[in-house]
Structure 1
Amino acid sequence: MHSRDRESTRRRLLDAAFVEFAAYGIAGARMERIARIARCSAGLAYNYYGGKDELFDAVQSEVAGAAAVEFDARDLPGYAGRLYDLQHRHPELVRLATWQQLERRGGVSQAGDVEAIRAAQELGLVSSRFSAEQVLRLVLAIASMWSGGTGSLDHGERRRAVEEAVRRLVEP
């Protein structure tokens, strides 16, 4: 029973931290607020994670696993569409990723994705007008361009626009 209580507390802390970090970023998040939402003491939160940075890393690690979108360098329009769908369902993921970029140097490594794009470029499947790194950044930007609001298009129209924009970007 003791380990179940520990896991329950850990889960509540991660859930509360996800909401807090998505709303306030790392600098604005408060361990006391996270602990209150998780229904535990701030001291216990520090015992579990050591501090905000470690807790943010734990949230990022969990989100990366739960929010994984199948990456396929040979089908970047499909990847962009799947990523758009995920961000449409969970806009807080975009906020968390934005805080990661704003407050941490380097961000999450996507070297494997860049290498896959580079290989697809060498095979002539993806345009070489832009470097592999630029292609990945542009695809990510296009997939998330409606994350802050919906505009006048419905979800299906936005998804089709994302896929078409990426298709035109990467076509050889």
Structure 2
Amino acid sequence: MARRDREQTRRRLLDAAFVEFAAYGIGGARMERIARIAGCSAGLAYNYYGGKEELFDAVQSEVVDAAFVPFDAADLPGYAARLYDRQYEHPEFARLATWHRLERPGPVRRSGEIEAIRRAQADGLVSARFSAEQVLVLVLAIASMWSDAPADSPDHVVRRQAVQDAVRRLVEP
């Protein structure tokens, strides 16, 4: 029974942190607010994750990565369109990604995707004009460029097609 309660508390903390980080970023997020939303004490939240940085990393790996669309290096245009759809339907994912870029700059840490693009380049499925790392960053940027559009935007279908076409032209051999 205690194991189940522990897992439920951890899940509530992750869900509350996702909302908090999407709204305020790492710098603006407050562990006390996250704990209150999760229905536990701030001390318990620190006990589970140590601090905001660790909790942000947990949200990134357990909530965001689990909810994102499957990566397909052989179909980067389709992947970009599905990623655009996900961010259009759930703008909090796009906001969290923006906070990550702002507050955690550095190289893209998606080695599996980069390696898959390298293999697709070696197989002639993806252009080698850019490095695999550059291709991934460009695909992610193109898929996210309209993430701040209103959810009821009439241009959604047109923008989705533009994302898919732009990535197709970027990666075609």
TM-score, with length taken from structure 2:
0.88
**Residues 108/167 of structure 1: CA separation in 2 closer, same or farther (3 Å cut):** closer
Cα drift, residue 126 of structure 1:
1.8
**Is residue 100–residue 107 contact of structure 1 (8 Å, CA) maintained in 2?**
no
- Give matches, 1:67-146, under 5 Å: 67-106=67-106, 109-146=109-146
Please give the alpha-carbon distance, in whole angstroms, between the structure 1 residues aligned to 2:167 and 2:154: 18
Question: Runs (4+) of structure 1 moved beyond 4 Å?
Answer: 150-153
**Which amino acid counterpart does residue 84 of structure 2 have in structure 1?**
Y
Question: What percent of counterpart residues are identical?
Answer: 76
Cα drift, residue 105 of structure 1:
4.3
Please give the alpha-carbon distance, in whole angstroms, between the structure 1 residues aligned to 2:35 and 2:107: 26
Please give the alpha-carbon distance, in whole angstroms, between the structure 1 residues aligned to 2:105 and 2:155: 35
Q: Provide the aligned C-alpha RMSD in A.
A: 2.0
Worse-matched range after superposition: 152-161 or 132-141: 152-161
Deviations 1:97-138 (A, max 9, x none): 222222224365122222222222233222222222221111
Please give the alpha-carbon distance, in whole angstroms, between the structure 2 residues aligned to 1:40 and 1:152: 38
Cα drift, residue 152 of structure 1:
5.8
- Give matches, 1:1-172, under 5 Å: 1-106=1-106, 109-150=109-150, 153-172=154-173
Count of matched residue positions in the alignment of Structure 1 and Structure 2: 172
TM-score, with length taken from structure 1:
0.88
Unaligned stretches of 5+ in structure 2?
A: none
Worse-matched range after superposition: 16-25 or 93-102: 93-102
Q: Secondary structure at the match of 1:130?
A: coil
Please give the alpha-carbon distance, in whole angstroms, between the structure 1 residues aligned to 2:129 and 2:68: 28
**Which amino acid counterpart does residue 60 of structure 1 have in structure 2?**
Q
